[in-house]
Amino acid sequence: MRIITPALAACALIAAFIDPATAASTTNRAHTVASVAADAKPWQCGLPLRKPDGSAWTCRFVDHFSGTRLNTASWTVQKSSNSAAAPALACWEDDPENVRVSGGSLHLTVRKKSAPFLCQSPWGDFTTQYTGGSISTWDKLEMTYGRYEIRARFPTATVAGIHSAIWLYPREMTYGPWPRSGEIDIAEYFTKYPDRAIPNIHYNDAGLDPSTNNQCYIRNPRMFHTYTVEWTPGLITIDYDRKRCLTHRIKAASLTGSAPFDKPFFLVLTQTLGIGQNPFNASTTPLPQTMEVDRVRVWK
C-alpha cells in the first residue's frame, strides 16, 4: 500500500525557481558547472569512486558548512517571492531564523511568527503565520548526471505536520510542466512516518509515479544519516547509509533515451510544513522544527 501519493510527495515542493517573467529570456542559456564546483579537490570527496561503467567519478562540489555564514557562491537561498513554491502553508524566507550556518552545520527551520503576514508569490500571494527554509544550487551548480551525497538529520517531531526534502529539480521545463520534465526526490521525510525516508522519481503525468519505495526504514532519522543518489544515463539509484533503497531504469513512454533526465538539474534542501496525508495541525504539530545538514558532496 502506498502511504504517500504523488500529489503529497511533490505538491509542497513543485517550484519554478525563476520569476516566470524572466523564464523566456533564459530558455536558451548554455549551462555549465559553476566555477566554485570545479574548484573542489579530489581528496575532498573522500576515497575514489567508480561509476557503473567503471570510469571514475570526479569530485566537483563540497560544503561542510564551516564558519557562521552560508557560502552564497555555492548556494542560493530560496524565497517564496521568486521561487513560486505552491501550494504551501509556510513562506520561504531569507532569514537567519530559517536559514543558518553554525556549529559546522546548515540549519533549515520551519517556525511560527508572532503574527500573520502576506507571503508574496508569483503564483498568488497568501496569508500565513509560518515560514520555512530552503536553499539550492540554482545558478551555481547545475549538472546532467552526477553523484550527490548529503549527510543530514531530520526534525525531532514524530507526529504529522513537518516535511523535509533533499531533491533535484530541472533547470528548464524542457519536456513540459511538472512532472514531465522530471524531479528526483533523494529523500523526503514526513513526520507522520518517523521511521523512514522516502525516495521518488517523478516524470509520469499519466498516473502513478514510475518509481518509489515506502519501505526504506531508518533507525532514528533524527540522527545523522547519509543519503546518496547516483544518476547516470538511463539509471538512477538511491542509497541510505550505503544500503540500496531504490533502483530505477528510466522508461518514459512518451520520450526516448534518458529523457527527461538528460538535462541539467540542481540540488535543493528544503524544510517546510506538511500537507495532504502528512497534514500540519497548529494544535498538535510542534514548532519550530529543523533539518540539519553537515555535509554535501557532489561528483560528476
For residue 214, give the nearest of 235, 242, 193 by alpha carbon: 193
Give the model's pLDDT for residue 39: 60
Q: Using CA atoms, how far apart are residues 186 and 201, in angstroms rounded to an integer?
A: 8
For residue 272, give the nearest of 291, 295, 292 by alpha carbon: 291
DSSP letters for 47-60: S--B-TTSPBP-EE
Work out the average pLDDT over 172-186.
94
Q: How confident is the model at residue 293 (pLDDT cuts 50, 70, 90)?
A: very high
Give the model's pLDDT for residue 130: 97
The three cell numbers locating residue 212: 518509489
Which residues have CB under 8 Å from 245's CB, separation 6+?
197, 199, 213, 216, 238, 239
Please state, in angstroms and as integers, the Cα–Cα distance from residue 180 to each residue in 117, 174, 196, 260, 266, following that order. 34, 9, 27, 7, 16
Task: Check pLDDT > 90 for residue 10.
Answer: no
Q: Using CA atoms, how far apart are residues 156 and 140, in angstroms rounded to an integer?
A: 31
Please name the amino acid found at residue 213.
N
Q: Using CA atoms, how far apart are residues 185 and 83, in angstroms rounded to an integer?
A: 18
Local structure of 201: helix, strand or coil? strand
Higher per-residue confidence, 237 vs 4: 237
User: Could you tell me the domains of the chain?
Assistant: 6-20+44-299 (2.60.120.200)
Task: Check pLDDT > 50 for residue 216.
Answer: yes
Partnered with residue 209 across adjacent β-strands are none
Span 157-177, pLDDT tens digits: 999 999 999 999 999 999 999
